[in-house]
Copies of this chain bind each other. A is one copy, B any other.
Amino acid sequence: MKFSCEQQKLTKALNVVSKAVTSRSTIPILKGIMLEVTSEGKLTMSASDLDISIQDTIDVNTTEPGAIIVMAKLFGDIIRKLPSVEINIESDDENNVTIKCMNSEFKIIGMSTDEFPNVNMVSEETEAIDFNKSELRKMIDKTSFAASNDESRGVITGVLIELTPDQMNMVAIDGYRMAINRKAKVSTNPGNIIISAKIISEISRIIGETDSDEENGKMLLSEKKVIFKFDNIQAELKLIDGEFINYKDILPKDSKITAKVNRANFMESIERASLLSKAGKNNLIKIDLKDNIMTITSNSEEGNVKEEILTEKEGEDLVIGFNAQYVLDILKAIDDEEIKLFFNTGITPCLIEPIEGDKFEYLVLPVRIN
């Protein structure tokens, strides 16, 4: 194998595929990146940790086609530290890789591609779904934080992608809170898939870090995996088996109290109130809704805090406690200037929605106040 390529182009592709390189595995080959060069001048970089496999294809000047595995960390560090000019890379029959650039010459030990996981991405897909990259990214970021971090929790460590005839919904839940995000979209083949929240977040990160003029991508669904295709990138993600929680049953059917608040004011007040709640164990803040004033209080051995914000309330007065962090995570994921809160009692969940429409719904469980 022998080719040359601009340092910056190589660095960008390395940053993309590195997202699939595991740092924890004891299998050396999973710490590697496969470089495959064709005689047509295409370099495909691939990496896989078995749950996610990523490929990025870039144009290079090929002298001799071939393939080799390089250790992702060392190869990446070398390429990133070289000057931004043309880099020459070649491998010999003993898997020795030579990297030459101006007055620098590296010889590193590569590995044969024989044992590399098969990431050829042939897809017996049932359906190809178009998506807008930045819209997909937002949906992921606005839901995945609410999934469970506890790897023993099965389906709820994942984000549900629900395809209905006219909508695409993402849902995540961890037992204390739930995030729902909806987008109008025509799907010919309705169905549900569940993807690990940690893994789908890598797709959001890659979209955020790559700058290209292409606005759209394709999602190819099959029984056990989903492939995201955009720019020259292909990412294959393993699906989580199982039935997702019937989340619609959890949503409260009606509410006795609604309160409209300015999101930024509400968020900043909770952030300040949590300065004192942190000292306690469960980050408890108390919300007191009385007429058109919402009072947020919190206290610890170090002192106490009282925050007041204006609200447009309908229904009775109410006192309810929350874990400040759960409410903050939700408020940070919303862009709207104003939001609506729905309550029933001090021991039933609070629902957070936009003033109009149903593009998002967040549910958060209260904490009992002693």
Q: Which A88-107 residues have a C-beta within 8 angstroms of B?
A: 97, 103-107
Total chain A interface residues with beta-carbon distance under 8 A:
30
Q: Are B272 and A109 in contact (CB under 8 A)?
A: no
The chain B residue with its CB closest to the CB of A103 is B308
Q: Are B109 and A303 in contact (CB under 8 A)?
A: yes
Of A74, A271, A301, the most chain B CB neighbours within 10 A belong to A74
Count copies of this chain in the complex: 2
Using A74-B275, A78-B272, A81-B272 as known contacts, say yes or no to A307 and B103 having CB atoms under 8 A apart.
yes
Give the chain B neighbours of A83 by CB distance below 8 A. Answer: 268
User: Nearest Cβ distance between residue A280 and chain B, in whole angstroms?
Assistant: 13
Contact partner of A305 (CB less than 8 A), chosen from B97, B106, B109, B308, is: B106
A108 on interface, CB distance cutoff 8 Å: yes
A82 on interface, CB distance cutoff 8 Å: yes
15 residue pairs from A and B, CB less than 8 Å apart: A74-B275, A74-B276, A74-B302, A74-B303, A78-B275, A81-B271, A81-B272, A83-B268, A103-B307, A103-B308, A106-B276, A106-B304, A107-B303, A107-B305, A109-B301
Q: A81-B271, A105-B305 are in contact. List 17 more A-B contacts (CB 8 A).
A: A74-B276, A74-B302, A77-B275, A78-B275, A81-B272, A82-B272, A83-B268, A103-B269, A103-B309, A104-B272, A104-B306, A104-B307, A106-B304, A108-B302, A109-B301, A109-B302, A109-B303
